[in-house]
Amino acid sequence: MKNLLTRIKNNSPVLYYCGLAHLVLLVLLVLVMQFDHRQVMGINLWIKPAKFAISIAIYCLTWPLLLPYLPFEQLKKRFANFTAFAMSFEMVAIATQAARGQQSHYNNTSTYNALVFALMGIIIVSQTLFALYIGIKFFKVKPLQITPALLWGIRLGIIMACVFALEGGLMASRLAHTVGAADGGPGLPLFNWSRIAGDLRIAHFVGLHALQIIPLFVVLSGIKSARPVIVFAAVYFVLISFLFYNAMLGRPLF
């Protein structure tokens, strides 16, 4: 683990420290929950910032393991800097809205709340499109210092993660993530996904983590050729698409 963190730090200090800061923030948020019992949408208002803190930490600590295989140094530096800024802005917005006892997403109840929600959307979409551009750039990389399997794992992981990240736009347009019921109903432990209706966050979550899961499949399986990776990614895409379709029908996962 220490060697892995050293590698991440050496590859991209800005993303390393951004990820580390969010892990520290996660611990602080869990501590705050023990003393602040206010609720938003039926759950402790600090749960959402805590979930975003760990998600952002994982996201920031993943990219330094992928970017070294891309030869465009200035592009990588700009992407790392903008990603750290975008993730930090997202976290500040979510945490400050929680501190105010307000929803951070889908909240147009005042000019300030609507402005925060709009800015979050603009910045996170910009970062996602930048990540998609990075994914496309990986199609110019040749498998010289990397196996075809890992190269395709990185390509497909980035592209798929970006596609389902943009699903957030659908939720924003609906001002809700639940289909067939109001947001804030009974949910699964930890994730809080709806147990009574469809929930678009499920496909969003599973799709986002294609960034880690598809390359990790390559590393753990030890395969070298591209074909098994492409098949695995296709199956994974079908699974996420089913989760999305199921949610749009208003059906709960369980």
How confident is the model over 20-35, as pLDDT tens digits?
A: 999 999 999 999 999 9
Alpha carbons 164 and 207: distance in angstroms, whole number: 5
pLDDT in tens, 120-159: 999 999 999 999 999 999 999 887 778 999 999 999 999 9
Q: Is the domain of 97 the same as that of 153?
A: no
Which residue would you say has higher pLDDT here, 192 or 91? 91
Same domain, 43 and 112: yes
Angle, CA of 105, 249 and 206, to the nearest 5°? 55
pTM of the model: 0.94
Last-in-domain residue among 115, 141, 167? 141
Q: What is the average pLDDT across 33-61?
A: 93
Regarding whether 159 and 131 lie in a shared domain, the answer is no
Do 183 and 60 belong to one domain? no
What are the C-alpha distances in Å from 247 to residues 9, 68, 213? 39, 37, 22
Local confidence band at 7 (pLDDT 50, 70, 90 cut-offs) = very high
Looking at the chain, how many residues does it have? Answer: 254
Residues 104 and 165 in one domain: no
Q: How many domains does the chain have?
A: 2
Q: Rounded to an integer, what distance in angstroms lies between the CA atom of residue 183 and that of residue 167? A: 17
| Pairwise pLDDT comparison (40 vs 90), residue with the higher score | 90
**Three-class secondary structure of residue 23 per DSSP:** helix
The pair phi, psi for residue 187, each rounded to 5°, is -135, 165
**Whether residue 188 is found in the same domain as residue 112:** no
Over residues 47-76, mean pLDDT: 95
Residues 15 and 134 in one domain: yes
**Model confidence over 178-237: pLDDT tens digits?**
999 998 888 888 888 999 999 999 999 999 999 999 999 999 999 999 999 999 999 999
Sorted by sequence, the CB contacts under 8 Å of residue 10 that are 6+ apart come out as: none
Q: Do 129 and 146 belong together in one domain? A: no
Same domain, 133 and 159: no
Query: Mean pLDDT over all residues of the chain?
Result: 94
Pick the last residue of a domain from 141, 174, 208: 141
Stretch (H or E) spanning 39: strand 39-40
Q: What is the mean pLDDT of residues 85-94?
A: 97
160-169 pLDDT per residue, tens: 999 999 999 9
CB 63 within 8 A of CB 15: yes
Distance of alpha carbon 107 from alpha carbon 27, whole angstroms? 27
Question: How many CA atoms lie less than 13 Å away from 53 in the CB half-sphere?
Answer: 18
Residue range(s) defining the domain that contains residue 149 = 142-254
Residues 115 and 156 in one domain: no
Exposure letters 74-108 (e unless 16+ CB within 10 A, then b): eebeebbebbbebbbebbebbbebbeeebbbbbbe
Of 111, 141, 171, at which residue does a domain stop? 141
151 and 114, same domain (yes or no): no
Q: Are residues 123 and 236 in the same domain?
A: no
- Residue 152's contacts (CB-CB under 8 Å, 6 or more residues apart) are 226, 229, 230, 233
